[in-house]
Amino acid sequence: MVDSFLSIQKVRKSFGDVTVVEDFNLDVGSGEFVSFLGPSGCGKTTVLRMVAGFEEPSAGKIVINGKDVTRLKPNQRNVGMVFQAYALFPNLTVAQNVAFGLKVAGTPKAESDRRVAQMLELIKLPASEYGNRYPYQLSGGQQQRVALARALAPAPKLLLLDEPLSALDAKVRVSLREEIRSIQKELGITTIFVTHDQEEALSISDRIAVMYGGKAEQVGTPFEIYNRPATRFVANFVGTLNVLEGTVADAGAGKVRVGNQELLVKEKLNGARTGETLSLALRPEAIALGPRPGHDARLAGEIPAVPFLGSVIRVRVGIGDKQVSLDTFNNSSTPPPAVGDKAEISFSSGDVLVLH
């Protein structure tokens, strides 16, 4: 870990008897973009709200830029925040909204006007055209960009984004997330992004903290999170996963029995004993229909369904009492396999994830 700009240390938050965040630790480097990813109720927004100062931790410490801010009020933290519901002030114009934080801070008008124009330029809503509009005269995506400009205008040291894209339609969501990331890189501002959308988190984050049950299950780069999930939850939550139940046939040799077929999992058994039942997980893209070079593991089965998804065809193969899904690109000259066909799947044993 490089220098830690934001440090969340052993933070716990309870509401009455219910503990929603437990022993949460995270160090975020200066200029880093970290996403909190998890299902509803996992505590990700609560952690963000504690960093913002809207909730006070029941235990633990939050340090921003070397200063303990745990007991400081939100208006004393120099943090910017974008909310899911935009939260633009309806009675103020776009320019007045962006200038709000500057006015509260007592920035001289000329400087404030210059900064507002600069911020609106940054979000590609020039002040000359959009400055005098009211929030209700903007689309959802434009409103959220104004909310971003408003959060950035007072030059906060830390930017918090609380599911800022959830209320937008799919197309706008993709373009805006790329815009957010490019602005974040341009300004070099340390950013925490809360989302339940794994694709969003994987595509724009430097690191991801996957949360479940109030705890960080795993913190790592998108590559690590996706390819080397530390827990069963992370493996299941991030990406699509095929899970097969297997029994260790020979722990020493790394052999696992799936149904009546045997599989070699080599170094992944991690001390499992012969006879123990394991869950073996495989990403759909790691599996091929038929043999492939480099694929040292094979399992035979029968095809119960072939959903057509346009550019991709998802082939389901029944292995014992489980089904495995794999994706192949649609090729108009090659018809997809038929339901009821016998099929053999192959994969590299190195791609198998053993879930404990």
Partner 1 sequence: MKSSRFWAWLTFGVGAAYFFIPLIATLEFSMRMRRGEYSFDAYRVVFGDDRFQATFGYSVIIAVFTIILGVLVVVPTAYWIRLRMPHLRPVVEFITLLPLIIPAIVIVFGYIRMYGSNSPLPFLASTRGTDALLTIGYATLALPYMYRAVDTGLRTIDVRTLTEAAQILGAGWTTIIARVILPNVLIAVLSGAFLTFAIVIGEFTMASLLNRPAFGPYLQNIGANRAYEPAALAIIAFAITWGCMSVIQVLSRFAPKSANRPN
Among 138, 176, 192, 202, binds partner 1 (CB under 8 A): 138
Does 86 participate in binding partner 1 (rule CB under 8 A)? yes
Q: How many residues bind partner 1 (CB under 8 A)?
A: 36
Query: Which one, 149 or 204, has the nearer CB to partner 1?
Result: 149
The Cα–Cα gap between 235 and 353 comes to 8
Amino acid, single-letter form, for residue 301? G
Least distance (Å) from partner 1 to the CB of residue 285? 34
Question: In the set 14, 25, 70, 84, which binds partner 1 (CB under 8 A)?
Answer: 84
Asked if 18 and 41 touch (Cβ cutoff 8 Å), the reply is no
- Residues 40-79 as x/- pattern, contact with partner 1 by CB under 8 A: ------------xxx------------------xxx-x-x
Alpha helices, H only, 92-165: 94-104, 109-122, 127-130, 140-152
- Shortest distance, position 286 Cβ to partner 1, whole Å: 38
Q: What is the CA radius of gyration of the chain?
A: 25
Q: Which of residues 140-199 bind partner 1 (CB under 8 A)?
A: 140, 143, 147, 150-151, 154, 166-168
Nearest distance, CB of residue 116 and partner 1, angstroms: 13
Question: Which residue, 56 or 296, has its beta carbon nearer to partner 1?
Answer: 56
User: What is each CA distance from 147 to 75, 114, 171, 178, 313, in whole angstroms?
Assistant: 17, 18, 19, 16, 40
Helix axes 140-152, 170-187, angle to 10 degrees: 20
Q: Least distance to partner 1 from the beta carbon of 160, Å?
A: 8
- 92-121: which residues touch partner 1 (CB under 8 A)? 100-101, 104-105
φ, ψ (nearest 5 deg) of residue 254: 75, 30
Q: Which of 39, 90, 188, 307 binds partner 1 (CB under 8 A)?
A: 90
Task: Return the residue of 31, 134, 157, 247 that touches partner 1, per CB under 8 A.
Answer: 134
Reported as type and span, the H/E element at residue 246 is: strand 242-250
Nearer to partner 1, 8 or 234 (CB): 8
CB of 132 to partner 1, least distance (A): 15
Q: What is the footprint of partner 1 within residues 211-240 (CB under 8 A)?
A: none
Helical residues (DSSP H) of the chain, grouped into ranges: 44-52, 94-104, 109-122, 127-130, 140-152, 170-187, 198-204, 222-227, 232-237
Beta strand 190-195 pairing with 33-37: parallel
Quote the least distance from Cβ 256 to partner 1, whole Å. Answer: 48
Q: How far is the CB of 355 from partner 1 (least distance, A)?
A: 37
Q: Contact region for partner 1 (CB under 8 A) — 89-97, 118-126, 330-338, 346-354?
A: 89-97
> Residue 356: CB partners within 8 Å, gap ≥ 6?
232, 270, 272, 278
Q: For residue 278, how far is the Cα from the chain centroid?
A: 27
In whole angstroms, what separates CA 212 from the centre of its chain?
13
Give the nearest distance from C-beta 81 to partner 1 in angstroms: 5
Site residues (CB under 8 A) for partner 1? Answer: 52-54, 73-75, 77, 79-81, 83-91, 100-101, 104-105, 134-136, 138, 140, 143, 147, 150-151, 154, 166-168
